[in-house]
Amino acid sequence: MMMEKLKVYADRMSQPSRAVLIFCRLNGIGFVEIKVDISKGHHLSSEFTEVNPLQKVPAIVHGSFNLSESHAILVYLNSAFPGIADHWYPSDIFRRAKINSVMDWHHSNLRNGAVSYVINTVLGPATGRTLNPKTAAEAEKVLFSSLSNLEDIWLYGDGRFLLGGSQPSIADLSMVCELMQLEVLDEKDRSRILSPYKKVLQWIDDTRASTNPHFEEVHNILYRAKKKFEQQCSRIAETQTKPSDKIGGHSKM
């Protein structure tokens, strides 16, 4: 009997979801993408809660086995599907340990900083939260320190990828997807944050190039969201200039 196809529950607006989708496509893993639209509250539905009681995407169902947490999923897929190139999650115990280490570091550093910064400068209102400048300032600190650590510690050596790798691993994919959410910031802010980190910028490009066309396809939704936010911003800018025009008008009267 054939095992049912792998199901990937994902919202393409979510970084870890994108990492899992790109990984499956790149490695020719047959799967069904099941959309869980967080902005519509689909992650709270009883169907999805069956799949992942923690109500977070991504999650997978493989036969009778269900699993959540993107890193655990990436590691599982590597072992469960034959033919995946060794560089994604090397079988060498030392290289594997270093990849585990950087992925553990990711949670409380890069992810923590990037998510909280984007939510508190741009995305908040779209998910029913108010923008909190104080939290944004704290998140910015975590984000900057994470970027410095990437630049100076994790991207060491001559390799183009993390930990001196000459080919990407699941850690590169996971963390570059995390950084891609900075695309929704306004261009000035994004460049203020990223431009001091030359190696990081090069690494984003290298990871993108080695995972295209899937990388771009799965990120399309983000570029569209960016346009939408830009339009919103210019509308806000317009409404902010109007009342001041009026005040000017009044004072002339």
Partner 1 sequence: MKLKVYADRMSQPSRAILIFCKVNGIDFEEIKVELSKRQHLSPEFRAINPLGQVPAIVDGRFKLFESHAILIYLASAFPGVADHWYPADLSRRARIHSVLDWHHQNLRRGAAGFVLNTVLAPLLGLPLNQQAAAEAEKILISSLTKLENIWLKGNGKYLLGGLRPSIADLSLVCEIMQLELLNGKDRDRILGPHKKVLQWIESTRNATRPHFDEVHKILYMLKTKLSEQQSNQADSVMESRIRTPLTSKM
**Coil, helix or strand for 62?**
strand
How many CB atoms lie under 10 A from the CB of residue 73?
24
**Coil, helix or strand for 9?**
strand
Binding test (CB under 6 A) with ligand GSH, winner from 23, 70, 114, 160: 70
- What residues numbered 32-61 form the site for ligand GSH, per CB under 6 A? 38, 43, 55-58
Q: Is 165 in the site for ligand GSH (CB under 6 A)?
A: no
Are 85 and 71 contacting, i.e. CB atoms less than 8 angstroms apart?
no
Give, in order, the Cα–Cα distances in Å from 155 to each of 114, 131, 236, 246. Answer: 18, 32, 39, 53
Cβ-based nearer residue to partner 1, 100 or 210: 100
Q: Is 108 in the site for partner 1 (CB under 8 A)?
A: yes
Size of the site for ligand GSH (CB under 6 A): 13
Q: Is 3 in the site for partner 1 (CB under 8 A)?
A: no
Segment interacting with ligand GSH, rule: CB under 6 A, options 14-22, 151-159, 184-192, 233-241: 14-22
User: Measured from the CB of residue 55, what is the shortest distance to ligand GSH in angstroms?
Assistant: 6
Alpha carbons 212 and 171: distance in angstroms, whole number: 17
Cβ-based nearer residue to partner 1, 39 or 49: 49
Closest CA to 225 of 136, 134, 144, 125: 125
Segment interacting with ligand GSH, rule: CB under 6 A, options 67-75, 147-155, 164-172, 240-248: 67-75
| Among ligand GSH, partner 1, none, residue 58 binds (CB under 5-8 Å by kind) | ligand GSH
Structure tokens at 58: 């991504």
Are 214 and 22 contacting, i.e. CB atoms less than 8 angstroms apart?
yes
Q: Is 15 in the site for ligand GSH (CB under 6 A)?
A: yes
List CB contacts of 164: < 8 A, sequence separation 6 or more: 156, 157, 158
- What residues numbered 51-90 form the site for partner 1, per CB under 8 A? 53-54, 65, 67-73, 75-76, 79-80
How many CB atoms lie under 10 A from the CB of residue 115?
18
Are 27 and 89 contacting, i.e. CB atoms less than 8 angstroms apart?
no
Binding test (CB under 6 A) with ligand GSH, winner from 8, 10, 14, 21: 14
The residue ranges that bind ligand GSH (CB under 6 A) are 14-16, 38, 43, 55-58, 69-71, 104
The residue ranges that bind partner 1 (CB under 8 A) are 53-54, 65, 67-73, 75-76, 79-80, 93-94, 97-98, 100-101, 103-105, 107-108, 111-112, 149, 152-153
